[in-house]
Amino acid sequence: MDWREKLFGKVLVRCDSGTQNGQFDNVATLEALSDCVEEGEGTVCGIYFSFANISDSSDDFGVRLEEIYNRVHPRLKVVQVVLWAHVGTPEGPVEREAGFRKSLTGKPWFAVPFHDVDIKRRLTQKYSIAVGVPTLVIRGRHVRDALLDDPLGERFPWPAPPLQEVLRGVELQGEGEARRYEDLPADALRVFYFAAHWCPPCRAFAPSLCTALSAVRKRAPSTRARSSSSSPVTGASNLTTAQCNQYQARAHCQCRGARARRVRRCPPRSASPAYQR
C-alpha cells in the first residue's frame, strides 16, 4: 500500500470546496498528494492536528500555519485532522460534525473525513498528540515550536538539528571526571541507550547491554555508552562499570528469587526497550 493511503486512507476532504450547506467534495488521497515525497527533496506533507471546540481566537497556531502555508506552497501540502479537545463534554455527534465543518471551511488544504474515526485515532496515537494542543507533524517530527519561531518560513521544512549541535555543552557524568559531549574523542563509537530506572524491562535489559559493551570495549577501547533516563534524579550519564555490576547483581538476585519461588520471573527479552547506535 502507498504510504499516503496507509496514513490517511483512500479519500480526503477538499476544504476549499465547502458550500453554504456545509458539504465538501472528496478527492482521492493519491490525487490530492500526488507530488508529495516521503523522503528527500520535493513537496512535503504536513499533518495538522486541530481541535474543533477550541475557539478561533485562541487557536493562534492555525492562523500562523495558514500564513506560512501561503508563503511556502506548493512545497508544502497539509492534511488536517480535526479532533475534539474534551471527550467528556455534553456535545453530541451533530454538534461535533458542525464543529468539524466550521474548522475546515475556507482552508486551502485537505482533511481526513469526519467519519474516519479509526484513522484519526491511529494518527493521534502514532504521533502522541497532546489533548488541546494544535500541532503540525512533518515526516514524523513535531514542528510546532519551529514554526512559531520562524514566522516567515525561512527555515522550512525545519529539519532536525544535527546531534552534535543538540548535545553541545551537555555535561556527561561517568567513570572519572565529567566531560562535555564535544570533548569526547572524535573516533569514539557512541552508543545511546534510552531507559528508565523504574522500568522492569529496562532493568532486565541493562545486564545484557553491559555484557555486550564489555565485549565491544575489548575490541574498541574508546567505545562510550551514554544512557538517558526519564528518572528525574539520574539525567544523562555514562553507563559505568559500577552501574553494569549493579545491574548484573540485581538481575542475578531477581532470577535466583524467581527460581526459588517459581512465581516471579525476569521479563522476557522481547520486552526489552529499543536502543540506537
Number of Cβ atoms within 10 Å of the Cβ of 140: 10
Q: What is the pLDDT of residue 27?
A: 96
- Both 247 and 208 in one domain: the answer is yes
Amino acid in the structure at residue 49: F
- Tell me which of 113 and 223 has the higher pLDDT: 113
Q: How far apart are CA 134 and CA 62, in angstroms?
A: 7
Take residue 109 and report the three cell numbers written for it: 488544504
Domain count, the chain: 2
- Both 52 and 11 in one domain: the answer is yes
Does residue 157 lie within any of the structural domains?
A: no
- Both 184 and 122 in one domain: the answer is no
Q: How far apart are CA 62 and CA 66, in angstroms?
A: 6
- Both 116 and 10 in one domain: the answer is yes
Cis ω before 74 (30° cut-off from 0): yes
- Both 90 and 226 in one domain: the answer is no
- Both 135 and 246 in one domain: the answer is no
Q: How far apart are CA 137 and CA 180, in angstroms?
A: 32
User: What pLDDT, in 10s, does the model give residues 204-260?
Assistant: 888 888 888 888 878 777 666 656 555 543 433 455 555 555 555 554 444 444 443
> Could you report how far apart the first and last alpha carbons of the chain are, in Å?
30
- Both 139 and 263 in one domain: the answer is no
Contacts for 167 with CB less than 8 Å, ≥ 6 apart: 181, 182
Range of the structural domain that residue 36 is part of: 3-148
Take residue 178 and report the three cell numbers written for it: 565529567
- Nearest by Cα to 227 from 185, 169, 170, 183: 170
Q: How confident is the model at residue 270 (pLDDT cuts 50, 70, 90)?
A: very low
- Tell me which of 181 and 267 has the higher pLDDT: 181
β-pair partners for 236: 228
The enclosing domain of 131 has a CATH number of 3.40.30.10
- Both 88 and 180 in one domain: the answer is no
Does residue 73 lie within any of the structural domains?
A: yes
Which residue, 113, 148, 183, sits at the end of a domain? 148
Does residue 158 lie within any of the structural domains?
A: no
User: What pLDDT, in 10s, does the model give residues 65-77?
Assistant: 999 999 999 999 9
Does residue 123 lie within any of the structural domains?
A: yes
- Both 111 and 35 in one domain: the answer is yes
- Both 199 and 119 in one domain: the answer is no
Of 22-36, 47-61, 159-173, 220-234, give the lowest mean pLDDT range: 220-234
- Both 8 and 143 in one domain: the answer is yes
